[in-house]
Structure 1
Amino acid sequence: MSADPDDVSSAEASSALLRPVRPGNAFEDTVERLLQTIRLGVIRPGESLPPERELATRLGVSRDTVREAIRSLADAGYLVARRGRYGGTFLAEELPAHTHGAEGVSRETIDDSLRLREILEVGAARMAATRTLAAAEREELWSRLGDVRDAKLDDYRRLDSRLHLAIAEAAGCPSLVPLVAENRMRLNSLLDQIPLLSRNIAHSDEQHEAIVMAILAGDGDAAAAAMRAHVAGSAALLHGFLD
């Protein structure tokens, strides 16, 4: 008996998409990979995901990371857990509206904002770390870091933006701040179209701390690397949910 061509092509697509993720943003990249299989129709509504152990092996991440990604996508309405003999994790029969892409948002639009962000904010972090910051500037960074750590979900984007603007200000180039602010407006309009994932917020907080600590320590390379990883995490989620 020959295999169903649709099943064969689906298996091939699944193998191509569920490949090892990059180090540094394992959770965000795992979410992106799972969303790709959903949005490209590799897994159809009502079908089950591969077991956690298999996903962890194929993606090169821990089972805890897979479990957190699945839980986050279940909370966002993409997946449904079922118990019992025929239990497992299944794609929801009715998916959230943004599964099929945000109206008027293309991959090119997302990439333009993200690439500009990398140019501006990685450079800002590196420049801030190379300066001798005044006590008020150092206190401002600590204060903004504390604010975003303690942020409630409905105020997270605003306080996150304030921290990133404080980093731009610490770079000591006044012309940079309005450029970062304008691009943050573009990014936030995109981020507002995807769900806030608690694990991503926790990871972002860790990255924020690494960025600020590197700036205060005067380590430009570490500050730039930490900001670049932070930008990449946001990129993974935006591409996963929107393009």
Structure 2
Amino acid sequence: MTPLRDALFRPVRAGNAFEETVERLVQAIRLGAVGPGERLPAERDLAGRLGVSRVTLREAIRSLQDAGYVESRRGRYGGTFVTSPLPVPTAGPRVDAVELADALTLRAAVETGAAECAAGRALDPAERRNLLARLAECGEAALEDYRRRDSRLHLAIAEATGSASLTAAVADARTRVNALLERIPLLQPNLAHSNQQHAAIVGHVLAGDAEAARRAMAEHLDGTAVLLRGFLS
């Protein structure tokens, strides 16, 4: 492999393995380490370099195939090839790297704080029911409605802090991030992983474990951040 491929195809972290695998593959494609029409490294080699299971790698490749970034070819000279031409990003102003970093930093600060504060409060029965209802709605959401339900759950966590100012700050941060999310594809394995993380966050909030709620929210937000950086940076 080239030094660039070695740098891009380095081991991912365990917490958001699928999301980081997608990020690495998209970066390799967008930076030209694997150009249009070229084949990705063999599955076994690539999974080993990334430090992920072949199942995780296959899910990532399948998601990028659905998004139009790669295609599979059979036969003696088959494999996974980068499409030519590459997909055109959703119409809109170019995403500035500083703007992206600012939006993600703001979101991380206010939403991890909201999860911690919500877990630190003695929630009344109505607040607890609201969190569980929003969690259930998100878990049952159809693909086309997922982001709206996802936003509603995150806002419900902010509302559970009892702070109108913090809820408004989360709403503002979420609005900025949603505008970015609309420009990248919805990946089904990421949504399933997000729902698992949502359940953990809400569970920690309801249990009153502020530190665990903060950590779980931070890991969850990092999964979204790596996808946004991968597709938009």
TM-score over 0.5 for the alignment? yes
The whole-number CA distance in structure 1 between the counterparts of 2:89 and 2:21 is 18
What secondary structure, in the 3-state scheme, does the structure 2 residue paired with 1:97 have? coil
| Distance apart, 1:102 and its partner CA | 6.2
Q: Counterpart amino acid of 2:99?
A: T
The whole-number CA distance in structure 1 between the counterparts of 2:173 and 2:219 is 18
Q: Counterpart amino acid of 2:121?
A: R
Aligned to 1:24: 15
| Distance apart, 1:113 and its partner CA | 0.8
What secondary structure, in the 3-state scheme, does the structure 1 residue paired with 2:86 have? coil
Q: How does 1:46-61 map to 2 (within 5 A)?
A: 46-61=37-52
Q: How many residues align?
A: 233
Q: Alpha-carbon deviations, 1:194-235, whole Å to 9, x = none? A: 000000000000000000000001111110011000110000
| Distance apart, 1:67 and its partner CA | 0.5
1:84 equivalent among 75, 83, 86: 75
What secondary structure, in the 3-state scheme, does the structure 2 residue paired with 1:90 have? strand
5+ residue gaps, structure 1, are 1-9
Q: Alpha-carbon deviations, 1:146-203, whole Å to 9, x = none? A: 0111111111111110000000010121111111111111110000000000000000
The whole-number CA distance in structure 2 between the counterparts of 1:180 and 1:220 is 18
Q: Is residue 186 of structure 1 aligned with residue 146 of structure 2?
A: no
2:194 equivalent among 204, 207, 215: 204
Q: Alpha-carbon deviations, 1:128-153, whole Å to 9, x = none? A: 11111000000000000001111111
Q: Give the conservation status (yes or no) of the 8 Å contact 1:117–1:183.
A: yes
The whole-number CA distance in structure 1 between the counterparts of 2:3 and 2:225 is 25
Q: Is residue 74 of structure 1 aligned with residue 48 of structure 2?
A: no
Q: Which runs of 4+ in 1 moved over 2 A?
A: 101-104
Aligned to 1:3: none
Quick one: structure 1 residues 205 and 61, their matched pair in 2 at CA, closer, same or farther if it must change by over 3 Å?
same
| Distance apart, 1:112 and its partner CA | 0.7
What secondary structure, in the 3-state scheme, does the structure 1 residue paired with 2:195 have? helix
What's the RMSD between the two structures over aligned residues?
1.3
The whole-number CA distance in structure 2 between the counterparts of 1:60 and 1:107 is 28
Q: Is residue 135 of structure 1 aligned with residue 125 of structure 2?
A: yes
The whole-number CA distance in structure 2 between the counterparts of 1:73 and 1:102 is 21
Q: Give the conservation status (yes or no) of the 8 Å contact 1:102–1:242.
A: no
Q: TM-score, normalised by structure 2?
A: 0.97
5+ residue gaps, structure 2, are none
